[in-house]
Every structure is written in structure tokens, then in C-alpha cells.
Structure 1
Amino acid sequence: MARIVVVGAGVGGLATAARLAATGHEVTVFERADSVGGKLGRHTRDTPAGAFTFDTGPSLLTLPEVFHELFEATGAKLDEYLDLAPLDPIVRHVFPGGGPTLDSCADPAEFAARIGAAFGDRAAADWQRLWRRAARVWNASHADVLRRPVGSPLDLAALAWRLGDLAAIAPGRTLRGLGRRHLSDPRLRMLLDRYATYTGADPRRAPAALVAVPYAELTFGGWYLRGGLGTLADALLTRCLDLGVVVRTGTTVTRIDAAGGRVHGVRLAGVAAPVPADVVVANADALTVYRDLLPSPRRLAALTDRSLAGFVLLLGVSGDSGLAHHTVFFPRGTDAEFDAVFGHPGRGVRARPAADPTVFVTVADDPAVRPDGHEAWFVLVNAARHGTAAGAVDWRRPGLAEAYADRILDVLAERGVDVRDRLLFREVRTPADLHADAAAPGGAIHGTAGGLLRPANRGPAAGLWLVGGSTHPGGGLPMVALSAQIVADEIGPAWD
């Protein structure tokens, strides 16, 4: 039996702790915040009309079988803890120009039919051709890449790729290039581009292999957890406690002791004595681990782009807007938005708030999260990271956040959804807030941007492991849970 310390009680940390405790290890989790969940955050606002509850992180659960496997591995059933509701539409896409909307769903044939009805038979045929390619990418990657440790280009090269798989994955091609090759309708290209941003990446630079992201969502479905996605953190915490894991919130790990090339434990803020450990699992951003938690700063072995961030409005809205659970409102053009969000320091282009951004609105039809006759709106706009460098924006600059919030509400009004006269309240969350609240450098949502090669799960010292969205296999709830599975499998059960 190993003494294992987990740094961070996000989904990755809790999932790893539960798996390890279920196999006989002694596990303690330290979390700097006062509650668990990490980026899977929640916020409640009390008003005279009643309480509004918002998910401030993920708003969609995909690949639910990953979580069924997780709970079964810890001796439980997912349905005993969570109430999953399938979504149709998964996302409603509203395009510029006032044309038809497009509702995505988890039936590929039905989605192709919806594309045909909205955009014509050629567009539907284009999508089906892309879909066949996406299936090959998914089949080539989900078992050999997403469920195994991958820490270097050599690890990827060592996989038994078939020639057809390599042709589908198209190393060197971008997601934008893939869309332009296969899709003639600009609205479908816009839709495909957007999946790169779901992994924190610029579609003009993101690998074509990210076509597996829409494939997973639109094949296996998108799900809402009644009561909010934050109930997943509650369920994982319960599993951990039932398995004997010690979870200490409000406790900051300031250093990982790793003298002599292996871990010995961790140091806590305000505590003189170190906490001994045979194994340390860090559910912190990989950059934070390498730069701030090790005895001496180290360079990440994998050179990866930092993820984009998000600018968020939490709105209490009176009345019924008739929106789908998820709605995406696209701008007239996306390249100007991507230039603003990502910047191009090499070309002298500074990051800035996008003037005409894509706007994501989540409105859960769930009485548990809003008073009768009202809606709780989570509004997200892709944004540059917080900071002062050319590729970032100083979101703490006086007046900027409120002015940009006004702009987002104006944009929604321009796109046919004006709620400015129905607001009970609005709260603003900037990348600077995520930077401070979740220890996410710059407020980067996924830590590192989408790609096949991310920081490895195996750390630079023996006994040190990394889980979470900034590490392999990537961001998003199922990928984070898979990182926990990879690490738990590599550590092995206590009785080995």
C-alpha cells in the first residue's frame, strides 16, 4: 500500500483518488479552494424571486461511458449518484444573415438530414464524407491514444498505425484545412472550426485530428446532469469519502518535495512539517507544476500552445426565451475573432477583446437551478488569456470588464436575443478571475491547446504523476477522467 497525495480536487484529482483508494492505497487530497470541483465550478445567487445556480465551467457531459466505467471501477453505479438527461438538440447553431438554424443531435443520419433540410443536399453529402473520415480518426485514436500514456513523439510513432489511419489523421494538416477540403458550405466550415476552440485551440493551427471531437459528441451524445454539472463533483467526492480518502479543502500545497530524482511528499502553506508520500499526483496545471511546485523550475518536455480563455456573464433573466439548452450565435466572420483571441505576436498583432465574437448561451430547463418564471443564463465568449504580454489582455484594467459585458449584451440583441430589459442581475467573470480562483495560468480553460501531444502524465521525478486537462489526453470532462484512468493504471493496485 502506497501513501499517495493528490494535489487538487478537480475532476481529475477526485477520479484518480477514488480509483487508487478502490485498489487499496492510502490517499489524501489537498485542495486550495474551500470546495471541490476545480474548474467544474458552481455559483449561487439569491434574489427576492429565488435562488439561481450556475455551472461556471463545463455545461455538457460527453462520452458518458467513461464515467460509467469510472464509477464501476470504484464499486458503484453512476446512475445511483447522477441523473443524466440526453440533449436534443445538443447545440442549436444560429448563423449570420438570418438564415436557417441547425440543431445537432446524436443520430448521424438524422443530423445529415437536418443539414440537408437547412443547407441542401450537397452540404449533407459533404458532411457525410467528412463524417466517414472522422470515424476513422476516432477509431484510430480512442483506444491507442486516449487511453494510454503518451509523453513524446516517439510514443506516438511507436503505435501500430495503419496506413489508412495515418491518412485520415493527416499529420501536418489543420482542422481549418480539413474543413475547406471537405465542406463547401461556409456555415458548416464555421461549425467545424468551432470544435477547435472547444479544446482551447485556433482552428487555423489545430491539427486535423481534432475532427474526432465532433465525432465523439455527435455519435455518443451530449448530456446534462439534472441539478447542474457540478453534481458530478459532489458524486466523486462522495465516492472518495466512502472509500476512505481524506479530502482537505482550504489547504494549499506550496511545493512537491522531489530531492534525488523522486518524490518524498509535499509542503503545505502555514505548516512547518512536510507531508510524506510515496506517490504524488498533481491535478494542477502542468505549467504550475513544472514552474512553481517543483524544488527548481523545469521546462515542460512537450512544447504546447496555451489554451484560450473565456469571458463569462451570469445572467438572471425573467420570462421564457425559448432557447435550446445550448445555443451558439456565430458572427459574420470568424478570423477577426480568432486574431483577437489568440493574437499574433510574431506579426505584431496584440490580443484584444473580440468586437464581434461568437456567443455561447446555456439555458438549462431545470427547476433546480432557477426560480419559476425565470432563466439562469451562462453566456460565454472566447477570450484572450489574462496578462500583459502581446498574446494576452489585462482583464483587470479598470472599466474593461463591464464595458465588454455591455458589448456582449448588445451583440446578443443584434442577433435577435435582447434580454437587456429582462435582467434581474448580471455577474461578470473574466479570465483574470479563473486565473485567481482555479490557479489556471492566465485563465486558460484547458491549460494547453488541443493536439495529440500534450504534457505527459508521468512527471519529471519518480513517483510524480500529472492528471487533468493540461495533460494527456486533453481537456474536457471525459478526457480528464481518462487521464485519471491512465495514471491509476500506471501506479497499479496496492496488492501488486
Structure 2
Amino acid sequence: MSRVVVVGAGVGGLAAAARLARAGHHVTLLERAATVGGKLASYERHTDVGTFRFDTGPSLLTLPDVFAELFATCGADLRERVDLRPLDPVVRHRFADGTWLDSSSDHATFLARIDATLGAGAAGDWDRLWRRAGRVWRASWRDVLTRDLDRPLAAARLAWRLRDLAAIAPGVTLRDAGRRALRDPRLRTLLDRYATYAGADPRRAPAALLAIPYAELAHGGWYVRGGLTRLATALGELCAETGAVVRTHEGVSRIRVDGDRATGVELDGGGFLPADVVVANVDAAHVYGRLLPDRRRAVAHRERSLAGFVLLLGVRGASGLAHHTVTFPERYDAEFDAVFGGRLAEDPAVFVTVADDPAVRPAGHEAWFVLVNAAPHGAVDWRAPGVADRYADRVLAVLAARGIDVRDRLVFRELRTPADLSDATGAPGGAIYGTPAHRLRRPGNRGPVRGLFLVGGSVHPGGGLPMVALGARIVASAIGPAW
């Protein structure tokens, strides 16, 4: 039995620990926080009217079959552990001209909604782009998302056919793909938003990100009753059932390397935990910049992804909003200029999650999660006095100008800045996705020394719940069964 230490109990670390323990390894999972889940976290606010519960990280589950396969591999049934609810609409969009459009995981339904709202020509354009996106998705799944691209000659063996290459269009941005395929500017705006799912600017992100809307809409968007952190709890329980030892309040200060091999980790409180294999579920920049003894290899992409500014609102009464609603500005590019230029966006897109779930709010009230894209801490000093409060006022004013004024119905508001996320998870600057997907390749899953592997949203195959779970599968397969 080999000894594996997993550093960080985010979703990628939990999934890797469960798989490796199931494969016979002696696994110890170290997490510096009090609970597991990493960015998949929650917050409770107790008030005179009752308790409000919020997911403070991901609010949408896509590709649930990735997690179903993980649980099945470990001898469990995902749907017996969490109550999955499909969402329709997946997202409700409010464009700058006041038009509303509901997306759907049923393609024919979505086309009918586009036709009714934007016209038959717009629906036909989306249908043609959708077929191309399907080719991109299938090629990406087959040749990229499920593969260990760090193996020798792996990249040279990619089986992209000419038809796939035409769809993926290397060198073409997501923005360019939208402009060429979609005549209605509102659909172009809708497509641009999917770049932010990978922490990127659509003007620089590759057209291969067409796979993201396809994955969301073809496979559906799902909510976990009680909040998505129920998934983190279920993954923690799965680790215990497979035999992995989970140690919270246990940080790691260094990965020890002897010669050309990782041999264990040094703990924040002192002491050393030996290992035959180390799996790091922390941001790649932190691994290479802090945890390795001599910074053996710089992360290829130093640029940080976008971060997020969050308002958690207790609201009196019912709003009638969909589970997910996004309201767009008149000038979307101004937001990307600001966020990637290290400034606050004056008129940002605003994403609101309101779960119709009695488990997360008192009767007669709603729990609102409000998110806007933001520059990481450091580019903006989110700890400077008044910055967060003034920006929260601005975001609420923007919502009000777009017809969603909640200011006179607030029971409370709580703020979460990129600096808070950095403190809670160790993500440098609070960048949600580590490195933005402005290139097709992220840092790889294999470290610069033998016995060191990386999982999580900052490395291959990317950010988002299903992607980090796929990364854990790639790493577990590369490590193999116990000796």
C-alpha cells in the first residue's frame, strides 16, 4: 500500500482522495480550513425572521454524470446522497434593451424561445452555431478533457479530424465566432458570458470555449436541494467510506523534494508527513511559487483569471425571479476592460441566484446570491476602507436601474470580496479559476518532480465542478492502483 497525501479538500482533492483510497492507497487529505469543499462553501445568517443559507461558491451543477461515475466507482449512488433538481430555465437573461430570454436544456424549446423573443433568423443562427458547438464538445471530451495531456507525445496524438479542427478554429476567439455566426447582438452577448465561466475575456478566449454553453445546455443545469454544499458533504462522506483520512485545520507549508522526487509535506504547525505521492489541490501558482522548495518551474501563465464580488442578501417577500438571472449592461466590453485592467466596472453584468427552496430561507423571504465579475485583490485593493461597501451600493443601484430594485426589502446584506476568497481558499488574489482560459492549455496535472500531481481549477482540464472532478480522475488514473 502506497502513501498518498492530498493537499487541499476542495472538490478536486476530495474526488482524488476517494478514488485513490478506493484503489487501495493509504490516503491522508489535509485541509487548512475547518470544513471540506474549498470554494464550494456556504454561509448561514441567523436573524429574527429565521435562518438564511447561501452557497458562496458554485451555484449550478452541470454534467452530473461525471459525479455519478465517481460515486459509482467508489461503490455509492450519487442520487441517493444528494437531491438533484433540473432547472428550467437554466438561466434567465435580461439584455440592455429590456428583452428577456430564458435558456433551456431542451434544444427545441430554446429555439422556440429565441424565435418568439428575437425572431426566426436569430433562432436559425443559434441552431447552426449549436451544431458546431456540439462538434467542439465531442472533440474536446474525447481528446482533451478526459486525457492526461502531460504524457509524452500526448498532444501530438490528438485525434482531431479536419471537421473537428474547422469547428474548433484554432486562432479564432469566442467573440469572433459569435460575430461570424450570430447576427443578433443579444445572442452575441449571451455567448460572450460563457467565457467568464473559464475566468476569461471573450475577446481573447479561444473559440473552443463553445464547448461550455453546449455542455451546460445539452446536459442541463442542476440544483442540489439544500444547497450545492450538500455535494461537498457527500464527497467528504465518500472519502471516509473509502478509507481516506481527512484532517481539517491542517495546513501545509512546503512540499519536500529529495533529489527528483516528492517525499512528503511539511505542516504549518511543524512536523513532516511522509508520502510516496503528493497530490496538490491548491492553485498552481501557489504550488510553484510557495510550496516547492526551489520554485522548480514557473507557471506558464502568470495572468490571473477574473475574480468575483458577492453580495449575500436576505430579502423580504417574493421576487418572481428565476433560479438564475443575469442582467447585461449596454456596453459589455467596458466591463471586460475594467476587470482585466484592474479597475471596478461601473456598469457590470449582474448574476443573481434565488433558490426556490424552503431549506435555504425563512417563509416569506428569499436568500439572494448576487455576483459580479471583478479584478483580483492586488489589482484592486479590496481591503481599503469603504471600497467594498461603496461597490455594493453601486451593484444594487445597477440592479434597480434594470428593474430589479430590492433595496427597500433588505433584511441584511453580507459582502464577499476577492480578498476574502483569497484568505479562505489560498487562491492568489481570489482569482476564481487561477489562470484564465486565454489559451487552450492550462498548467498540467503532473508536477516537475516525480510523485507530484496537481488537481483543481487552475490546472488541466480547467475550472468548474465537473472539470475539477475530471482532473481528479485523470490524476488517479496516472497514479494507478496501490503497489
TM-score by length of 2: 0.98
How large is the RMSD of aligned CA atoms in angstroms?
1.2
State the match for 2:25 in structure 1: 25
Q: 2: CA distance between counterparts of 1:165 and 1:422?
A: 51
Hey, what does 1:372 align to over in structure 2? Answer: 363
Preserved CA contact (<8 Å) 1:264 1:277: yes
8 A Cα contact 1:152 1:456, kept in partner: no
What corresponds to 2:347 in structure 1?
A: 356
8 Å Cα contact 2:195/2:209 also seen in 1: yes
SS of 1:212's equivalent in the other structure is helix
- Residues 147-175 of structure 1: CA deviation (Å, up to 9, x unaligned): 11124996433312111111110000000
- State the distance in 1 between where 2:59 and 2:153 align: 35
Deviation at 1:452, TM superposition (A): 2.5
- DSSP-derived class of the 2:408 partner: coil
Q: Runs of 4 or more off by more than 4 Å in structure 1? A: none
1:268 positional shift = 0.4
Say if 2:396 is the partner of 1:409.
yes
Q: CA deviation at 1:493?
A: 1.0
Match of 2:289 in 1: 291
2:115 matched residue in structure 1: 116
SS at match of 1:97: coil
Within the candidate set 428, 448, 451, 1:463 is matched to: 451
Select 1:485's aligned residue among 468, 473, 477.
473
Query: Are 2:307 and 1:320 aligned?
Result: no
Matching residue of 1:440: 427
Partner Cα distance (2:69, 2:125) in 1: 35
The amino acid of 2:402's aligned partner reads R
Equivalent position SS for 1:143: helix
Residues 28 and 246, structure 1, Cα contact 8 Å, conserved in 2: yes
- In the other structure, the counterpart of 1:428 is 415
CA contact (8 A) 2:143 2:160 kept: no
Contact 1:151 1:453 in 2 (8 A): no
SS of residue in 2 equivalent to 1:45? strand
Give percent identity, aligned residues only: 69
Q: Give me the whole-angstrom Cα distance separating, in 2, the residues matched to 1:426 and 1:154.
A: 52
Residue 449 (structure 1) aligns with: 436
Distance 1:180 1:153 in 2: 37
Report the Cα distance in structure 1 between the residues aligned to 2:455 and 2:230, rounded to whole angstroms.
20
The question of whether the paired residues in 1 share the 8 Å contact of 2:457 and 2:467 is answered with yes
Q: What is the aligned counterpart of 2:461 among 463, 473, 494? A: 473
In structure 2, the partner of 1:174 is 173
Specify the alignment match of 2:35 in structure 1.
Answer: 35
Post-superposition offset of 1:42: 0.5
Structure 1 CA distance, aligned partners of 2:171 and 2:46?
Answer: 50
Where does 1:111-260 land on structure 2 (aligned, <5 Å)? 111-151=110-150, 155-260=154-259
Tell me the equivalent position of 1:53: 53
Q: Which moved more, 1:153-162 or 1:324-333?
A: 153-162
Which letter does structure 2 place at the counterpart of 1:486? I
Given that residues 335 and 345 in structure 2 are in contact (C-alpha distance below 8 angstroms), is that contact kept between their aligned partners in structure 1?
yes
Q: Which residue of 1 aligns with 2:77?
A: 77
**Equivalent-residue separation in structure 1 for 2:449 and 2:15 (angstroms):** 22
Q: Is the 1:361–1:378 contact (alpha carbons within 8 Å) kept by the matching residues of 2? A: yes
Tell me, in whole angstroms, the C-alpha distance in 1 between the residues paired with 2:85 and 2:376: 33
Secondary structure of 1:310's counterpart equals strand
Q: What are the ranges of 5 or more consecutive residues in structure 1 without an aligned counterpart?
A: 344-350
The CA distance in 2 between the partners of 1:80 and 1:97, in whole Å, is 44
Closer, same or farther: CA 330–152 of 1 in aligned 2, 3 Å? farther
Partner residue, 2:16: 16
2:153 and 2:478 mapped to 1: Cα distance?
19
Q: Distance in 2 between matches of 1:298 and 1:263?
A: 12
Q: For residues 108 and 284 of structure 2, what CA distance do their matches in structure 1 show?
A: 40
Matched positions, count: 482
Contact 1:302 1:453 in 2 (8 A): no
Aligned counterparts of 2:135 and 2:242: Cα–Cα separation in 1: 39
Amino acid in the other structure paired with 2:163 = G
Deviation string for 1:415-435 (max 9, x for gaps)? 001110100000111111111
Structure 2: distance between partners of 1:166 and 1:4: 39
* AA partner of residue 313 (structure 2): L
Moved more, 103-112 or 192-201: 103-112
Deviation by residue 1:439-480 (Cα, 9 ceiling, x = unmatched): 010100111112420010001110000000001000000000
CA distance in 2, matches of 1:416, 1:175: 30
2:59 and 2:480 map into 1 onto residues whose CA distance is 32
Shift of 1:269: 1.1
Following TM superposition, by how much is the alpha carbon of 1:398 offset from its aligned partner in structure 2, in angstroms?
A: 1.0
TM-score (ref. length: structure 1): 0.96
